[in-house]
């Protein structure tokens, strides 16, 4: 769903706002700290299209900053290069385990698709890995340690539900609008990951009236319409001369007509997708993060307006849309939730992890 690097200064490829301007802190924002009172850690691993990151996370969802390491991935990487990056960060992070502390288990959040039952990943933006056994790779590094795997969209939803914007909300969808569009569903406090682990793949829900081709091979997917790169591409096709998400953000703020149309088109696609999802499962709340969700100060408001336009039923328009309550630690915290909160995972998926 994404190929984010948290420190890459490109709006299209980051999951937190870097529009060349500051954005207000999200509510319940979580910041990494260097110390913790707990000594029971999860090793969290986040595998994305540009990097793999690992860190130790305590039972309160606090990332142990001294244990946080990253290594490159990338579209051009070989399978062995990707594997070595994962091994490297696993070794570095586990070496940072404080003396006397316990490693409870490993949680892996990966770009998808994935197979939970087989422990395999096929990240769209990492072509060298197709049905790659990443769980076995990590198990080989840490014999005897349990390793759980889920998609990164599901991990984001778990993190929001645990310590982010969706604490205490029973019917919730977490979303990222970035290089791709991803999501995860929590219904009645349970993650709906499904038998393959790919449940909540919101980016590949269809938007009515759109025929643009998606990276998945389908047409009209939310991701194909609303992601940062696709929105830039659409704007350029309308005659806009910029080439990055940052430029689009600046032109939107300056009142450029094409930039405004492009941003509204993205928000409308996301809003219509949320309306459809809410019609299906009666969501109470949606939290949206990801770099491109910061393309406009009123992006979240535009999404909410699109829901109202799309669906007049009160049970649909009641869904609240808010900005993510997570910092850039969100994917790691979500991966750690697989270890610290297994009760939120479905039984079918638990039995195979």
Nearest distance, CB of residue 227 and Zn ion, angstroms: 10
The single residue listed with the structure tokens 């750690």 is 336
Binding segment (CB under 5 A) for Zn ion, from list 75-83, 86-94, 100-108, 204-212: 204-212
Which residues in 213-242 contact Zn ion (CB under 5 A)? 214, 216, 218, 221
Cβ distance to Zn ion smaller for residue 224 or 335: 224
* Residue of 70, 204, 265, 310 that binds Zn ion (CB under 5 A): 204
Q: How far apart are CA 335 and CA 338, in angstroms?
A: 6
Binding segment (CB under 5 A) for Zn ion, from list 30-38, 124-132, 193-201, 209-217: 209-217
Binding mask 257-296 for Zn ion (x = CB under 5 A): ----------------------------------------
Interstrand relation of 320-323 and 285-289 (parallel, antiparallel or unpaired): parallel
Plot region of 125 (φ>0 → left; ψ -120 to 50 → alpha; else → beta): alpha
Q: How many residues bind Zn ion (CB under 5 A)?
A: 5
Binding mask 19-48 for Zn ion (x = CB under 5 A): ------------------------------
Contact 86, 45 (CB under 8 A): yes
Contact 106, 145 (CB under 8 A): yes
Cβ distance to Zn ion smaller for residue 195 or 218: 218
Q: How far apart are CA 342 and CA 333, in angstroms?
A: 13
Q: How far apart are CA 140 and CA 251, in angstroms?
A: 50
Beta bridge partners of 102: 40
Nearest distance, CB of residue 213 and Zn ion, angstroms: 9
* Four-point Cα dihedral 59, 63, 69, 71, nearest 10: 80
Q: How far apart are CA 56 and CA 40, in angstroms?
A: 9
Nearest distance, CB of residue 215 and Zn ion, angstroms: 6
Residue 207 interacts with Zn ion (CB under 5 A): yes or no: no
Nearest distance, CB of residue 183 and Zn ion, angstroms: 13
> What is the contact surface with Zn ion in residues (CB under 5 A)?
204, 214, 216, 218, 221
């Amino acid at each position: 769903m994404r190929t984010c690097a948290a420190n890459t200064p490109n709006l299209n490829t980051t999951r937190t706002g870097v529009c060349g301007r500051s954005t207000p802190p999200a509510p319940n924002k979580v910041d990494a700290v260097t110390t913790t009172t707990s000594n029971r850690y999860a090793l969290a691993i986040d595998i994305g299209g540009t990097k793999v990151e690992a860190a130790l996370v305590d039972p309160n969802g606090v990332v142990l900053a001294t244990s946080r390491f990253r290594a490159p991935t990338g579209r051009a990487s070989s399978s062995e290069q990707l594997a070595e990056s994962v091994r490297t960060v696993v070794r570095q992070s586990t070496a940072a385990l404080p003396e006397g502390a316990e490693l409870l288990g490993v949680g892996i959040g990966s770009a998808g698709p994935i197979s939970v039952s087989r422990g395999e990943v096929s990240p769209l933006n990492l072509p060298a890995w197709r049905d790659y056994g990443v769980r076995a790779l990590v198990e080989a590094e840490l014999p005897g340690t349990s390793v759980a795997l889920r998609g990164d969209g599901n991990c984001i939803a778990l993190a929001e539900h645990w310590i982010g914007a969706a604490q205490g909300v029973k019917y919730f969808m977490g979303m990222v609008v970035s290089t791709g569009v991803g999501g995860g569903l929590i219904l009645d406090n349970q993650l709906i990951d499904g038998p393959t682990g790919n449940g909540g793949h919101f980016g590949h829900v269809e938007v009515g009236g759109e025929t643009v081709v998606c990276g998945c091979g389908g047409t009209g997917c939310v991701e194909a319409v609303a992601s940062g790169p696709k929105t830039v591409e659409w704007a350029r096709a309308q005659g806009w001369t910029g080439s990055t998400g940052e430029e689009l953000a600046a032109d939107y703020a300056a009142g450029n007509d094409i930039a405004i149309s492009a941003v509204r088109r993205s928000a409308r696609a996301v809003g219509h997708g949320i309306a459809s999802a809410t019609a299906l499962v009666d969501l109470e709340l949606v939290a949206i993060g990801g770099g491109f969700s910061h393309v406009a100060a009123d992006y979240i408001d535009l999404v909410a307006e699109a829901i109202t336009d799309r669906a007049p039923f009160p049970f649909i328009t009641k869904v609240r849309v808010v900005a993510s309550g997570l910092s850039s630690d969100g994917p790691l915290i979500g991966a750690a939730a697989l270890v610290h909160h297994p009760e939120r995972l479905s039984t079918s998926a638990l039995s195979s992890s």
